[in-house]
Amino acid sequence: MSKKAKRQLETVLFSLPAIILVCLMMYLPFVLSGYYSLTEWNGISKDAKFIGLQNFKTIFVESSDFRESLWFTTRYTFFFVIFSNVFALALAVVLTKKFKAANFFRGIFFIPYIMSMTIVGFIWKFIFTSGFEKLYEITKWGFWNYSWLGDTKLVFYSVAFVGVWQSLGFYIVLYIAGLQAVPKDVMEAAVVDGASNRQKFFKVTLPLLGPSFTTCIFMSLTNGLKVFDIILALTKGGPGTATNSVTLQIYKEAFTNNNYGLGSAQSIIYFLFVLILTQLVLKGFSKKEVDL
């Protein structure tokens, strides 16, 4: 065999195990999920009853659970994307300044991100209940005595706050990397041209952070859309269905209600929703990037 043929054979042989594993763990379950979405199956019986598009009719016409969970997830994702990126960029700008404790604060902000989302959820569940109750006893401020996880109007902001707090360190690191990659000669040219600090930031720095914006927006969007474990630990979707995300709704339908057919149909619809949304956002932000 020629050297070129040997290299091609080696490439195929080394790639084949990974391809087989990905197909078995991702693509095959996805295809099977598409099939089960057309059936009535409890996940236990050997035979699944084919019912066509009845599950999709149930989702769009007969039941409102999925639509309500989709609306909550959309609101949560919007809140999460906006505030995680705004706060992360603001803190990244501060932490790129030269002061002694800069590296210390970078580490402090990054610690919550390396913690399990479930652990974070249980920690904040304790804080919202016992912790705030103790603060109320000390200060007598009514603010601490609110039912942050029991009030349907407040629980959304509680869950969203915990999500932003936990992931903030990751986006700070990405924005710091982007800020440090801004060419110094461009900034020096802006100073020579008489640009103020505000003008340098909004007219020079922000446009050059396009790749960082694209990455952070895309990552925060996907993380917001797939929120699950932090809600499961904090509220389990309650009170009522006030914090029932789509991923939690699919989990409940399939593994709690033993309705794998309907759960599979919900997952297919959500997959298409996430695919279209992420591609539109990614394409929109990619067009706005500035090339040096």
- This prediction has a pTM of 0.90
**What percent of the chain stands above pLDDT 90?**
59
Three-state secondary structure readout of the chain: CCHHHHHHHHHHHHHHHHHHHHHHHHHHHHHHHHHHCCEECCCCCCCCEECCCHHHHHHHHHCCHHHHHHHHHHHHHHHHHHHHHHHHHHHHHHHCCCCCCHHHHHHHHHHHHHCCHHHHHHHHHHHHHHHHHHHHHHHCCHHHHCCCCCCCCCHHHHHHHHHHHHHHHHHHHHHHHHHHCCCHHHHHHHHHCCCCHHHHHHHHHHHHCHHHHHHHHHHHHHHHHCCCHHHHHHCCCCCCCCCCCHHHHHHHHHHHCCCHHHHHHHHHHHHHHHHHHHHHHHHHHHHCCCCC
- pLDDT, residue 291, reads 53
pLDDT tens profile 112-140: 999 988 899 999 999 998 899 898 988 88
> What pLDDT is attached to residue 196?
84
CATH number of this structure's domain 64-287: 1.10.3720.10
